[in-house]
Chains A and B, each alone.
Chain A
Amino acid sequence: MLRTSITIVSLGVLLAACSYRPYAGNVKPLGEEHQAAGVSVADDGTVTHKQGRLEIRLRPMSDEELNRQFAINSQQGARSTNPYTFGNSKYFMTGETPRRFTVFKLSVKNYEYPKVRLAGDMVMASSNGRKYYALTLQQLDTYYRTYAQAYRGNEYFDYKQRRSILKSTSFPPRDIFSGQEEEGFIVFKPLADDVEDISVTIEDIVVRFDFRGEPAESIEASFQFERDVGVIYPDGRIDLSSQ
């Protein structure tokens, strides 16, 4: 029994020696040559889809940016109330801060149509077949409700704070009339470790309506992004899979 245990432990240690963890960098846009026609890429990572004077911009947000934007909600460790990230809390087994969500900032400027409505799904599809749908406020609400343990006032306050940030900063579900601009975050589940190239599609953007107010003409906007993936070794060395 003892010998077996020693063998198993030795084997474990041996396996541990070549242990690695997946590495994934931040999401960044692909060059304009990989984007659809009429899509431009700015230096700050914003990808803009233009149709006349209707602009739909999508910009990937890194956790660091989100933590800076909601700085006071991102510095309380496990009690951080930034609803988009884990703040500065760390997972006890690895000492790392995992990614909570994949977040994009979506901006719509409508100087072209009388009314624009984002009626369809927002879908993030990866080149290796994964598909993610934008999370609704109800989904996020349910997700954060579980943190309000026993509905103690303190936890409930955190829950409300997260909900408040989500409601005030997520992309508003309302029509964008001529001359209006709307901006907000859209949130997806965190990308799997093996996702390298992604395409975010905003389906069913209604640009014309009939006399009953029902959609008459819709367009679709697609944005291409990528990120570095690979493995990181215990000594900090990173091997990117594309290299």
Chain B
Amino acid sequence: MSREVGILIALCTLFLAGVGQAAEDFGARLGVRRGGEVNFEPYGSGVLFDALDPAVKKWYVPQELFTEYQWKQWEYTNYARSPYERYVDTAIEGDYFYDIYGGFLTKGWLVFDWSVEEPEAAGSRLLKTSKFSDFFSRLVVSSDSRGQYFASVMVGEKIRTTLTPLTLSKPIFDGIQADLATDKYQATILASRPSGFRSEATTPNERSNITNLVGGRFVTQIGDFVKMGATYVNVFNARTRGQAFQGNPLKGSLTEAQNADITEIRIRLSDDSPDDLEGGTAFFMEEVIIATKDGQHISNRRRLQNDDGTESSILEYRPQIEGGFQKEGFRTADGRETITLRYQLDGPEYKAAFGPPAAEIEKLEFRLLLANDYRIDITSNNQTNSNNQPVFLSQGMPERTIRAAGNVKDGSNQNFVQIAYGLPTANEIFGFTLDVQNAAGFDLQAEYARNRQHKRFPRFNQFDPTKHTHAMEHADAWLVNVSRRPYPLFFYGEAYSMDPNYSTSSYMVLERGDTGPVDYDSQTLAVYELVDDNDDQDREVDWQRRGQGAADRFVFPGWDENNDFIADFNQNHIEITRPNLKPDWEEPFLRYNVDRPQFLFGVDMNNNGVVDRFENDNEPDYPYKRDRRGFNIYGGSFLGPYARLAMGRLEEWQLADDRSSTMNYALLTYEQDFAQLGKLRIYENLRRVEDDIKDNLLVWRIADGIAGEIVPREDPLPARDAWVNTVYLQFDYGRSERFNFISKFKYEFFKQVGYDDWQANSRILPGEDIRETSSFLGLINKIDYTQQIGQLVIQPRWKSEFHRYVPILKEDPFEKSTTELRESGFLIVRYPLLPRTTLQAGTEYLWTKQYREKAKNTLQGSPRTEMIGALQITNRSAYQGYEIYTQMGLRVSRIDIDFLESAQTETFLFFTIYAGFGD
């Protein structure tokens, strides 16, 4: 016993001695060193041996800090000596973050977090905290490099991203872009969740049904001349309640809102070329084939073999057919007429025919015997808009329809068209590019892209979303450009094809609730574009789409050469801040320098009467338009150092219509700057055209009272069968310091061939009722002279403008025939009152004469005189780091228009201050 007591006393002595000698235990607070590295992985709370104190009193100070706080349970607070300071935000230096292995990352702030968990409700979580915008202005870039290897990963909004113009080109891509570049290879990976990407909140945007985007491009250099690339993009709908790794997610899945039985199908047959009022859909017969989940295949026309080898019976059911004209053996829909086939799978006729219940159907297929120029649209009770009304896909995406090739009218194209019904779930595009540079003097760029439009058949009782029956449509696009330029000769050729149903648009899951409805007729809310419309190449997308903000209201391609985002023909207009409602070519004093846009010269390869460089449309910015196939070749030569002649031929035709364009053309340019005289420019463009392809546009219209607006312009087809010629001459005399002379001449005409025959034998639409000859003849002469007398600078100017314009259309809503002469004289004087203060005074007299009687009776065309006087004082001085421009003055105009009874007097007074940064 005494021996045992002795051992116990010895152990206690040893233990107590140990306590006294042990260093403080910091637990995991200093991190844990493993393999030479310190980590701060979570270890949970530890056991504090040193704080073991068998007392009943509760501790109200942290026990793990007992060394600092001692064994006190409470502490009296007296702030007499040391004043109290307020609580500090616990997140003042951010939060603590750990990775999925438990490794401590950093103390800081969560900026962006996108995670997907399946199967789980609202499993797609996207969080962009306020730090994303406040700290990083909505763009965060990580990058790394070593030697030739460069990598970057960024997440952001409004990233200007282009893979290829056929697959993905967005001026404002929202998402993740990862790029890799080496000397030989380049790669890009894109990922995004367009559903709610722009949302910014303190809590995640959690969704069960979403639209995702994945894509990428890989480019490799082969040898010295060749670059090959592969591109893949897919926008697909997904839902997170399903099991992970079921099926192929890239084919997309139906959302929960779409996952309902199909009880009604409507097929609309119409005329693909309604304007000709003939040869529309000729409908002969239909067949519906129903596949059930237990392996039956039932047709309403014939017996089919079931999966178990037995033969099914014929379903005695016919759809309800509405519309069209009954002809012998078929029903037809010409012009605006339509035929609708209605299959009601819960209707009494269907039930009476013992058709399988809607809940049992896992696939519906239709075979339609059609001829002529048909167009097929299909919808169902699940394919609806926001009002739950069935709508066609083409109402949201015009290309999502089935069209007959060409415009056959004799029934020779009679065939069965097979359609497997489904709701769109994914839009996938893959393609290849080839870029050859200077191989034997040739340059070649080529691209091929295949578009696969995935769809699935909805069925309520199918819980695995990837097992809904899948079907697919596809479309192709390709282009080849070849050039060789051995000076002085040059050659260029291009060939291309874009299927009419090639689509880079995808239906996007909406955020109305969490079931993922899709409004199929809403372009602005439910369509996501891979190739955006941005004709002016600015940062605003020209059309309105979900998550991209409003459509660009200021689209004037080619009219902003100074890149100030203001149209060059209304340069002194600033939207809202300082609007100006007169085009510069009509505005007093400015109209000396600015000439009306009709004097511009440029190439018009699509023969719609508008120079291509200034065109704006409402289509994705593909290199070539959809539903076109063709080629264009030209060759030519420099004719000495100042002239160039090119001749070529263009052939283009529409795939889903019987329209084509053929053009032979010659383009001569001559530009020489004579030392003693000035610069002479001559352009001549002669074309022989047969073009009936419509190239409708949106044009930027500036007119008196309109600062600028986008208006649609229908292609009047001014060169159906015509000679077109444009000649432009300009001479700028600039050799004298004081004397300037500019002369411009332009003559353009569209002269129709066989006009009388066409008028007599065609049905002419109002928008295509063109003149036999339309033309623009313009001549401008401008002279100004600057004379300085002491400090006084005097500048007299004179401008003479003659223009005779006969518009293409006989009845044009905006343009009228006119033959007008304008003479205007200006006198502007400038006198420096003080070193930084200048006085400017000017007067202008405008006189116009109208030679066309009809135009005399319009406000725009009526002869008139204008007398304008203006005075302006400008002070320019430095103030608080800015260059301050203070202007004050007035302008008084007296306008006497023959058409109006009395003369008008206009005044404009102003006192304005501008602050700039100086030169």
Could you say which residues of chain B place their CB within 8 Å of the CB of A231? 641
Bound CA–CA A151/B171 (angstroms): 11
Instruction: Verify B561–A146 contact, CB threshold 8 A.
Output: yes
Binds B, one of A15-23, A55-63, A64-72, A220-228: A15-23
Bound CA–CA A16/B647 (angstroms): 14
Q: Beta-carbon contacts of A77-117 to B below 8 Å, as 1s and 0s?
A: 00000000000000011110000000000000000000000
Could you say which residues of chain A place their CB within 8 Å of the CB of B636? 12
Instruction: Verify A12–B675 contact, CB threshold 8 A.
Output: no
Bound CA–CA A160/B332 (angstroms): 65
For residue B564, CB closer than 8 A to chain A, the reply is: yes
Instruction: Verify B637–A19 contact, CB threshold 8 A.
Output: yes
Known: A126-B675, A146-B562. A95 touches B488 (CB 8 A): no
A and B contact pairs by CB, cutoff 8 A, 14 listed: A8-B666, A9-B635, A13-B637, A15-B637, A16-B489, A16-B639, A128-B675, A131-B735, A131-B737, A137-B919, A150-B539, A192-B673, A192-B675, A195-B675
Instruction: Verify A19–B638 contact, CB threshold 8 A.
Output: yes
Could you say which residues of chain B place their CB within 8 Å of the CB of A13? 489, 637
Chain A residue nearest to B483 (CB atoms) is A92
Q: Which of A12, A22, A151 contacts B539 (CB 8 A)?
A: A151
Instruction: Verify A15–B641 contact, CB threshold 8 A.
Output: no
Known: A8-B666, A192-B675. A146 touches B637 (CB 8 A): no
For residue B538, CB closer than 8 A to chain A, the reply is: yes
Could you say which residues of chain B place their CB within 8 Å of the CB of A126? 675
Within 8 A of B (CB), among A162-195: 192-195
Rank and list the top 8 A-B pairs by shortest CB-CB distance, nearest first.
Answer: A19-B488, A16-B637, A128-B675, A146-B563, A150-B539, A138-B919, A150-B538, A16-B488
Q: Which of B171, B563, B636, B737 has the most CB of A within 10 A?
A: B563
Other A-B pairs beyond A21-B638, A194-B675, 11, CB < 8 Å? A8-B647, A9-B635, A9-B647, A15-B637, A16-B488, A92-B485, A128-B675, A130-B675, A146-B563, A149-B563, A195-B675
CB distance from B170 to the nearest CB of A (A): 12
Q: Which of A5, A193, A195 contacts B641 (CB 8 A)?
A: A193
Q: Beta-carbon contacts of B482-514 to A below 8 Å, as 1s and 0s?
A: 000101111000000000000000000000000
Within 8 A of A (CB), among B619-636: 635-636
Known: A13-B637, A192-B675, A194-B675. A148 touches B487 (CB 8 A): no
Known: A5-B647, A128-B676, A150-B160. A19 touches B563 (CB 8 A): no
For residue A38, CB closer than 8 A to chain B, the reply is: no
Q: Which of A93, A130, A131, A138 contacts B485 (CB 8 A)?
A: A93
Chain B residue nearest to A159 (CB atoms) is B563
For residue A129, CB closer than 8 A to chain B, the reply is: yes
Could you say which residues of chain B place their CB within 8 Å of the CB of A138? 919
CB distance from B475 to the nearest CB of A (A): 30
Chain B residue nearest to A214 (CB atoms) is B835
Could you say which residues of chain B place their CB within 8 Å of the CB of A152? 160, 539
Could you say which residues of chain A place their CB within 8 Å of the CB of B673? 192-193
For residue A142, CB closer than 8 A to chain B, the reply is: yes
Instruction: Verify A21–B675 contact, CB threshold 8 A.
Output: no
Instruction: Verify A145–B641 contact, CB threshold 8 A.
Output: no
For residue B640, CB closer than 8 A to chain A, the reply is: yes
Within 8 A of B (CB), among A111-142: 126, 128-131, 136-138, 142
Q: Which of A20, A150, A151 contacts B640 (CB 8 A)?
A: A20
CB distance from B841 to the nearest CB of A (A): 26
Could you say which residues of chain B place their CB within 8 Å of the CB of A129? 675-676, 735
Bound CA–CA A136/B639 (angstroms): 36
For residue B537, CB closer than 8 A to chain A, the reply is: yes
CB distance from B320 to the nearest CB of A (A): 53
Known: A92-B485, A94-B487, A138-B919. A149 touches B537 (CB 8 A): yes
For residue A234, CB closer than 8 A to chain B, the reply is: yes
Chain A residue nearest to B534 (CB atoms) is A150
CB distance from B819 to the nearest CB of A (A): 34
Could you say which residues of chain B place their CB within 8 Å of the CB of A12? 636-637, 639, 645, 647
The number of chain A residues with a CB under 8 A from chain B is 38
Could you say which residues of chain B place their CB within 8 Å of the CB of A5? 647, 664
Bound CA–CA A92/B638 (angstroms): 13
User: Residues of A at under 8 Å CB distance from B?
Assistant: 5, 8-9, 12-13, 15-16, 19-22, 92-95, 126, 128-131, 136-138, 142, 145-152, 192-195, 231, 234
Bound CA–CA A146/B645 (angstroms): 29
CB distance from B177 to the nearest CB of A (A): 13
Known: A94-B487, A192-B675. A150 touches B735 (CB 8 A): no
Could you say which residues of chain B place their CB within 8 Å of the CB of A192? 673, 675
Size category, B interface: 20 to 34
CB distance from A241 to the nearest CB of B (A): 13
Bound CA–CA A132/B538 (angstroms): 34
Q: Which applies to chain B's interface (DSSP): helix, strand, loop or mixed?
A: loop
Q: Which of B171, B538, B639, B735 contacts A15 (CB 8 A)?
A: B639
CB distance from A155 to the nearest CB of B (A): 9
Instruction: Verify B490–A145 contact, CB threshold 8 A.
Output: no
Could you say which residues of chain A place their CB within 8 Å of the CB of B171? 150
Within 8 A of A (CB), among B536-570: 537-539, 561-564
Could you say which residues of chain B place their CB within 8 Å of the CB of A145? 562-564
Bound CA–CA A176/B561 (angstroms): 38
Could you say which residues of chain A place their CB within 8 Å of the CB of B675? 126, 128-130, 192, 194-195
Bound CA–CA A129/B673 (angstroms): 12
CB distance from B806 to the nearest CB of A (A): 28
Could you say which residues of chain A place their CB within 8 Å of the CB of B676? 128-129
Could you say which residues of chain A place their CB within 8 Å of the CB of B635? 9
Within 8 A of A (CB), among B132-167: 160
Could you say which residues of chain A place their CB within 8 Å of the CB of B485? 92-95
Chain B residue nearest to A130 (CB atoms) is B675
Chain B residue nearest to A9 (CB atoms) is B647
Bound CA–CA A148/B539 (angstroms): 11
Could you say which residues of chain A place their CB within 8 Å of the CB of B561? 146
Known: A93-B485, A150-B537. A136 touches B919 (CB 8 A): yes
Chain B residue nearest to A137 (CB atoms) is B919
Q: Beta-carbon contacts of B663-676 to A below 8 Å, as 1s and 0s?
A: 01010000001011
Q: Which of B564, B666, B675 has the most CB of A within 10 A?
A: B675
CB distance from B710 to the nearest CB of A (A): 18
Q: Beta-carbon contacts of B718-742 to A below 8 Å, as 1s and 0s?
A: 0000000000000000010100000
Could you say which residues of chain A place their CB within 8 Å of the CB of B487? 19, 21, 94-95, 234
Instruction: Verify B641–A20 contact, CB threshold 8 A.
Output: yes
Bound CA–CA A112/B799 (angstroms): 52
Known: A5-B647, A129-B676. A16 touches B562 (CB 8 A): no
Chain B residue nearest to A5 (CB atoms) is B647
CB distance from A17 to the nearest CB of B (A): 8
Could you say which residues of chain A place their CB within 8 Å of the CB of B735? 129-131
Chain B residue nearest to A14 (CB atoms) is B637
Bound CA–CA A138/B917 (angstroms): 11
CB distance from B460 to the nearest CB of A (A): 47
Could you say which residues of chain A place their CB within 8 Å of the CB of B638? 16, 19, 21, 94
Bound CA–CA A195/B673 (angstroms): 11
Could you say which residues of chain B place their CB within 8 Å of the CB of A136? 919
CB distance from A148 to the nearest CB of B (A): 6
Could you say which residues of chain A place their CB within 8 Å of the CB of B488? 16, 19, 234
Bound CA–CA A8/B665 (angstroms): 12
Bound CA–CA A15/B644 (angstroms): 11
Q: Beta-carbon contacts of B638-654 to A below 8 Å, as 1s and 0s?
A: 11110001010000000
Q: Which of B562, B641, B666 contacts A21 (CB 8 A)?
A: B641
Chain B residue nearest to A19 (CB atoms) is B488
Could you say which residues of chain A place their CB within 8 Å of the CB of B666? 8
Could you say which residues of chain B place their CB within 8 Å of the CB of A131? 735, 737
Could you say which residues of chain B place their CB within 8 Å of the CB of A21? 487, 638, 641
Could you say which residues of chain A place their CB within 8 Å of the CB of B641? 19-22, 193, 231
Could you say which residues of chain B place their CB within 8 Å of the CB of A234? 487-488
Could you say which residues of chain A place their CB within 8 Å of the CB of B539? 150-152
Bound CA–CA A151/B561 (angstroms): 14
